[in-house]
Structure 1
Amino acid sequence: MEENTTAWAGVENHIDDPEELRVMYNAADSFQQYARTAHFQITHQRRNAFYALPQSQRAVLQAPPISYLDTLIKVDDAIDSNAELARAIFSTSLQTFELGIQSEDGTLKMPKQWDGRAKHSDIDKARSTLRQFFRDWSAEGAAEREICYGPVKRAIAAEKERRGPSGPRLRVLVPGAGLGRLVFDLFLDGCDAEGNEISYHQLLASSYILNCCERAGQFRIFPWVHSFSNHLSRENQLRSYAVPDIHCVAETARAQQTRELGEMSMTASDFLCEYNKAENKDKYDVVATVFFLDTAPNLMRYLEAIMHCLKPGGILVNIGPLLWHFEGQVPRHIHDEGDTESECNMTGITEPGSFELSDDEVMSLVETMGFEVISRETGIDAPYIHDAQSMLQSMYKASAWVARKPTQ
């Protein structure tokens, strides 16, 4: 195994595209702005609303056992704890992704033209990314990971066994890799695992946790603190979790002592643009899609790209619901009149045209496009960043299946 096993250490080439630079800077700035906006939206506005109440009502609410103002102080403390992780992601990104400039004291800072430019939608994504650490990088998230990553790992293990112990390591592509936990786990299992992610919020966060975090349990996150709704108790809202549950560098060193590991990499790109390239034809033994296929406005183009990049006889392993992400949305190009989009954008995920299918229609399409479905299971209870103590419970009934590309 090579010494360098980092999944996403930063940019390989200087980025000159103005739109991509804007997206990257806004993503970084959103982590910088997390604390300020969270304090304003979650506690400052509630304090203002509290002091607008009649004095007699305030007296009841601020006294035990409710102690509403004390609760807001605890929520502020929880936001500050989340912000430690957000600031670490931001600070590291300035160097790793070559975003920072030298300040007078020699440290890196955000260039003035980008400082404070993140939009509300960017900051919402940062908040969501921090919550996602519960799923991918906490001990308590292991149950969710087993439900969604377990079937993928078992299918890949079965494919390894089918090919025999003397074969080369499996090359596995994970589109929509998110915070990188599945990619890292597959690397530990001896696969050459490559993640692909288009979101810079996810890329900045995964780069930090995989490469720069100092120890297991370095941070405590409060994933439920951003909402005051559907809590049985205030203790539930203020529950915290240590992240990461493992230190990736230490875990890699420990695993190397007992078994052969794979290699690990990450691409930052539009899945369709990257994996329809000629150099990626017939390259991967496995494509593993977890909660990914429903991000397609045009599923046929996803399946075409997967067919293109899979080796003959390779397998597509899928698990997830069908929450079609673009349902009801006007395609972006309709709003971009007068803008000149790159060729990649016009042939990538933003290409005109979209449709949504039912699960049985998806399976029919998979077979129509040349795959052989070799296993299928439906109705799998699959939570996503699930608060088991919440008064509001939602659960996906996911579909899991494996399909093979023909050998000829």
Structure 2
Amino acid sequence: MRSITWTVATLCWLWAGRALGDEASSATRGEPASQPGLVWVDASDPQYLVYEVRQVELALPENEHPLKRANAERHLKEKERLLQRLDRKHGTWNEHHAQHRLLEALRGFSAYAETQQAELNRLKGLYSHVPKKQKTLLEREVKYSQKFTDIAQLIEKNQQLCNGIVQNAMEFYGIGQHELDQHIRSMKSAGRGAERVSVSQALKHFVRDWAASGVNERDAAFPCILKVLKDLFPNPGQEGVKVLLPGAGLGRLGHEVAELPGFQVTNNEWSTYQNIAYRFLTSRSPNPNTSTIHPFIDSWSHHRSTADMLRAITFPDIPLDPSSVLLVEGDFTTVFRDEAAASYDVIVTHFFIDTARNLMSYFDTIARLLKPGGYWVNFGPLLYGTAPFVQLTLEEIVTVVEGMGFEFLEVAAPGSEGGSHSQGCGGKEAIPGKRVYGVEAEYGFDERALTRNAYEAVFWVARRK
């Protein structure tokens, strides 16, 4: 048996001699701290910023696979780096600071019922303008007002899930209740409402990534990408294949890659809303279908039936091993600056590159982190946001990426056995002769909706020379 020890400092607040999150602290009773490693100070002043320093010892069997040992150490190291980034003293304190964004996400999930009920009240107000005769018909035939009552009840059920997400995040990141309450009061005083859309999108990603009903959207890309990786690395060596997935969302693709023998996976996600939802997911029982959500009650369009709109979705649909994938939180172009160049064998960008504020910075980061001879696998649309610095056409992207020293690899045509790597992804050449391909991919979260959103996703495999 081999053991490693790691020291983790957790940022917390001490208010009036009380360690937040505890029912009562020893300090308030004039007693010494009962928890080993907890630093107490004189509480005569109303507020102190303190650290809880813990040493974590992890026992690893000597015959444990080297990749599993490496994963355990990576998780501990990254948790320490994450807590350092969350320290208010780290960088400039403003709305872009990591801890400010975390508090905003916690506020958004905490206020889920409040913001959703406000929107529901707006819709009820609009219904009040319907003439009495028409309203009588609606109530008699479809009991229209009952939907408002039913949705209000389901909002409260979703709030229970959101409360679990918040509580888990506060424990994971070391955020005290007083600190969150203080932030909420500050934002309300500034006239800034809690975020509604980002919370809703994060909750819907439970469906897309981790529910059985999201399989159609996953199947557009996942089998293709997994086949590529198996073809590129049919016999991973003892060191394994190091894969990075920026823009990982709630992480399903990374977990499926990690199921491949010999693959060591790092997910990266900037959205704090997605990250705290993922932390909740990986803190639950590993058994399938342990959580429930009603994800479609905040949108009244494109439903086939009221039952579809109100239906519950359970997740996750498969057992989940949180230790198999490392999550690195933060902006892709900055959070890996301290990581050594040429650290990864593969970078997979799935529905990601069009999220860039500066697309060229994404390209530079990919080129720096990939080993010579490493592979860049891309699958996704070119749906740029509202204020990107650069908006390149696919043809321009290919030209620029080739100019950076990448070689696009040939992909077999649908049904063909030829080509350098027979991915079996379907699709067709998006630009003749340029070895980039278009593959139809759905994106919409609700497989029962009366609408379908689909992109011609751009797929390529490029090798860094």
Please classify the TM superposition score into its range, dividing by the shorter chain length. Answer: 0.7 to 0.9
After superposition, the Cα gap between the structure-2 partners of 1:70 and 1:204, relative to the gap in structure 1 and judged at 3 Å, is same
Contact 2:209 2:250 in 1 (8 A): yes
Instruction: Report the structure, 1 or 2, having the larger strand content.
Output: 2
Task: Return the match for 2:203 from 130, 153, 157.
Answer: 130
Question: Is 1:275 matched up with 2:275?
Answer: no
What is the RMSD of the two structures over their aligned residues, measured on CA atoms?
Answer: 2.6
User: Per the alignment, in what secondary structure is the counterpart of residue 181 of structure 2?
Assistant: coil
Which residue of the partner structure matches residue 426 of structure 2? none
Question: Is 1:140 matched up with 2:213?
Answer: yes
Which residue of the partner structure matches residue 144 of structure 2? 68
Which residue of the partner structure matches residue 240 of structure 2? 169
Contact 1:134 1:385 in 2 (8 A): no
Aligned 1:142-291 pairs, distance under 5 A: 142-161=215-234, 164-190=235-261, 191-213=263-285, 215-249=287-321, 263-277=324-338, 279-291=339-351
Deviation sequence 1:382-401 (CA, Å, 0-9, x none): 11234343333221110111
Once residues 185 and 286 of structure 2 are traced to their aligned partners in structure 1, the CA distance between those partners, rounded to angstroms, is: 27
Contact 1:222 1:241 in 2 (8 A): yes
Which residue of the partner structure matches residue 14 of structure 2? none
Once residues 247 and 196 of structure 1 are traced to their aligned partners in structure 2, the CA distance between those partners, rounded to angstroms, is: 21
Which residue of the partner structure matches residue 336 of structure 1? none
Deviation sequence 1:108-133 (CA, Å, 0-9, x none): x8332335838557321011111111
After superposition, the Cα gap between the structure-2 partners of 1:120 and 1:404, relative to the gap in structure 1 and judged at 3 Å, is farther
Which residue of the partner structure matches residue 23 of structure 1? 101
After superposition, the Cα gap between the structure-2 partners of 1:183 and 1:120, relative to the gap in structure 1 and judged at 3 Å, is farther
User: Residue type of the partner of 1:68?
Assistant: Y
Which residue of the partner structure matches residue 162 of structure 2? 86
User: Residue type of the partner of 1:155?
Assistant: V
Mark the runs of 5 or more structure 1 residues left unpaired by the alignment.
103-108, 253-261, 332-353
Higher deviation after alignment, 188-197 or 377-386: 377-386
Deviation sequence 1:44-86 (CA, Å, 0-9, x none): 223333344443332222123x110112222223323332322
1:101 deviation in Å? Answer: 3.4
Once residues 134 and 6 of structure 1 are traced to their aligned partners in structure 2, the CA distance between those partners, rounded to angstroms, is: 26
User: Per the alignment, in what secondary structure is the counterpart of residue 61 of structure 1?
Assistant: helix
After superposition, the Cα gap between the structure-2 partners of 1:390 and 1:383, relative to the gap in structure 1 and judged at 3 Å, is same
User: Residue type of the partner of 1:218?
Assistant: T
User: Per the alignment, in what secondary structure is the counterpart of residue 113 of structure 1?
Assistant: helix
Count of matched residue pairs: 359
User: Residue type of the partner of 2:181?
Assistant: P
Once residues 343 and 163 of structure 2 are traced to their aligned partners in structure 1, the CA distance between those partners, rounded to angstroms, is: 38
After superposition, the Cα gap between the structure-2 partners of 1:233 and 1:263, relative to the gap in structure 1 and judged at 3 Å, is closer
User: Per the alignment, in what secondary structure is the counterpart of residue 391 of structure 1?
Assistant: coil
Contact 1:276 1:308 in 2 (8 A): no
Question: Is 1:35 matched up with 2:113?
Answer: yes
Task: Return the match for 2:458 from 399, 402, 408.
Answer: 399
Higher deviation after alignment, 195-204 or 298-307: 298-307
Once residues 69 and 125 of structure 1 are traced to their aligned partners in structure 2, the CA distance between those partners, rounded to angstroms, is: 28
User: Residue type of the partner of 1:100?
Assistant: G
Which residue of the partner structure matches residue 126 of structure 2? 49
User: Per the alignment, in what secondary structure is the counterpart of residue 297 of structure 2?
Assistant: coil
Mark the runs of 5 or more structure 2 residues left unpaired by the alignment.
1-67, 411-434
Aligned 1:380-395 pairs, distance under 5 A: 380-395=439-454
After superposition, the Cα gap between the structure-2 partners of 1:214 and 1:295, relative to the gap in structure 1 and judged at 3 Å, is same
User: Residue type of the partner of 2:209?
Assistant: D
What is the TM-score of this pair, normalised by structure 1?
0.80
Higher deviation after alignment, 280-289 or 77-86: 77-86
Contact 1:6 1:211 in 2 (8 A): no
Instruction: Report the structure, 1 or 2, having the larger helix content.
Output: 1
Once residues 154 and 121 of structure 1 are traced to their aligned partners in structure 2, the CA distance between those partners, rounded to angstroms, is: 42
